[in-house]
Structure 1
Amino acid sequence: MEKINNINHLQRSTKVKTVVITGANRGIGLELTRIFLSTGKYAVIAGCRNPEAATELTKLGEEDSNLEIKALDVTDQKSAETFAQSLEGKPVDVLINNAGIYVDKGKGVLDADFEAWEQTYLVNVISPFRMIKVLLDNLEASDQAKILTISSQMGSMSLPYSASHAYCSSKAAVNKGMQGVALELKPKGIAVAVAHPGWVQTDMGGTAADITPAESASGLYKVVEKFSLADTGSFYKWNGEIHPW
């Protein structure tokens, strides 16, 4: 089979790039999908666990032919491989690892729920690496591929927290891991960054949060457009500022 790297890039549209967004059915993922589509510069491949139940995402797809909705459970290797196989031969210019969870129980040491810890790490830490691995050929086929993993300031060593240990440590882990991936993939021309999306009014952030999903996604879109291989390994805030590690 001819390698993806040998694809004739003239077969691609010179105007439209491809972005893959995980967890695209709600919250920040849905708004990112909406914003990328609105630019006219991107086709979006939106991954979510249950496309049949993704009502708003489906509506977007009915309105814009540049949106493809595909089943994807980022915690399941077979699901991730099936997703990747459906993109065989298609360059991916941007991968946004957006899928994440916050388990609101067993947040301290004395009441730790270790099953919840395992699930948190599976989604927040292991799954972004899984998606990079299964889509690496597609990313290498892009001229200037970028990977943005949605993290959190709660994973920053510079900001102390006394609870939510599973979530905080999962974000610290993915931050450090992506820093390493940035070094590993730099020779391949793939830029990697992580970003704090802000305290967002989602199911995870709650209604008292500072900003709306649309505000967060708008800022994150600008981060994607801004960073390059020269900035690989950076930790951004949603507004484009550099976040301390």
Structure 2
Amino acid sequence: MPGTILITGCNRGIGLELTRQFSADGWLVIATCRNPSAAWELSELADQWDNIEIHALDVTDYEQMAALKEELGERPLDILLSGAGYYGPKGVTLGSVDLEAWRQVLEVNTIAPYKLVETFLDNVAAGENRVIGVLSSKVGSINDNSSGGGYIYRSSKTAVNQVVKSLSVDLADQGIAVLALHPGWVKTHMGGPNALISAEESVAGLKKRLLEAGPEHSGHFYNYDGSEIPW
């Protein structure tokens, strides 16, 4: 049975496609983004489907996040998905790291997902699926790092993987599954035109991972195709 999912970062790319696919399957989608008035594709989607709610949320504005929690009250969330992300400056090599940019990326990619879970934990616990997904990246895998560089983005995703692992342990007694998910190299604004797969293909796999998630999957790192990625 379709339920309710809250997704962050829905104005474009993977978040937009997640909204599209879940709403098409009959789910109530609480779609958030920083500036809904500028998210015209999301607005068009909401005009097409009456089971999409759009809410403003800058994931690093924790007062705004608390206000959204207040607005939603005790509504159950079957799935909570942290999709908002920030790559930061590209071409970051040894000796060229912008420390302030690093702090900004860590705020969006590592701290904000934790705060999202902390804020909406009671809503997830009241849901049927009890699933939390965090979009990570394979470049956050220490085992996979053979090329070096990328200090800012890599470290933010490695750190959020540790957040996911700790959450999976801390929430196990509530029956909540917490997964880190790699969407693949996707043809989006962030992924660029040379990426290998479409947003549609990536999201079809991510959706399958989220819908099939149970306690045995909690605390693991999965590629969109279901294969497990080493930490």
TM exceeding 0.5: yes
Alignment partner for residue 118 of structure 2, among 133, 142, 147? 133
Q: Which amino acid aligns with 2:83?
A: N
Quote the Cα distance in structure 2 between the aligned partners of 1:106 and 1:36.
35
Which has the higher Rg, Structure 1 or Structure 2?
1
Matches within 5 A, 1:1-245: 15-40=1-26, 42-105=27-90, 107-160=92-145, 161-245=147-231
- Is this contact kept in 2: 1:106–1:113, CA < 8 A? no
Q: Which amino acid aligns with 2:73?
A: E
- CA distance in 2 between counterparts of 1:104 and 1:89 reads 39
Contact kept? 1:144, 1:189, Cα under 8 Å? no
Give a deviation string over 1:110-138, Cα, whole Å, max 9, x none: 01101110000000000000100110111
What is the distance in 2 between the residues matched to 1:138 and 1:105? Answer: 37
Structure 2 gap segments, 5+ residues each:
none
Deviation at 1:214, TM superposition (A): 1.2
Q: Deviations over 1:187-207 (max 9, x none)?
A: 111110011110011111110
Paired with 2:224 and 2:91, the residues of 1 have a C-alpha distance of: 28
Structure 1 Cα separation of the partners of residues 159 and 57 of structure 2:
23
Counterpart-to-counterpart distance in 2, 1:112 and 1:134: 32
TM-aligned CA deviation for residue 16 of structure 1: 3.6
Report the CA distance between 1:83 and its aligned residue: 1.3
- Asked whether the equivalents of residues 2 and 25 of structure 2 are also in contact (C-alpha less than 8 Å), the reply is no
Task: Write the distance in 2 (CA, Å) between the matches of 1:239 and 1:16.
Answer: 22
Query: d(CA) in 1 for partners of 2:172 and 2:129?
Result: 11
**Per-residue deviation, 1:106:** 6.4
Alpha-carbon distance in 2 for matches of 1:104, 1:212: 23
Count the aligned residue pairs: 230
Contact 1:196-1:238 at 8 Å conserved across structures: yes
| SS of equivalent to 1:86 | helix
Code of the aligned partner of 1:187: D
Identity within the alignment, %: 43
For 2:217 and 2:119, how far apart are their aligned partners in 1?
24
What root-mean-square deviation, in Å, do the aligned CA atoms of Structure 1 and Structure 2 show? 1.1
Partner Cα distance (2:151, 2:119) in 1? 29
- Whole-angstrom CA distance in 2 between matches of 1:51 and 1:232: 32
**What CA distance in whole angstroms lies between the structure 1 residues aligned with 2:123 and 2:36?**
23
SS of residue paired to 1:112: coil
Matches of 1:89 and 1:158, distance apart in 2:
40
Q: CA deviation at 1:143?
A: 2.9
Unaligned runs of 5+ in 1: 1-14
Shift of 1:105: 4.2
**2: distance between equivalents of 1:48 and 1:186?**
29
Give the letter aligned to residue 173 of structure 1.
Answer: A
1:53-99 Cα shifts (integer Å, max 9, x gaps):
11010011111111000000100111111111111020001011000
Distance 2:90 2:5 in 1: 34
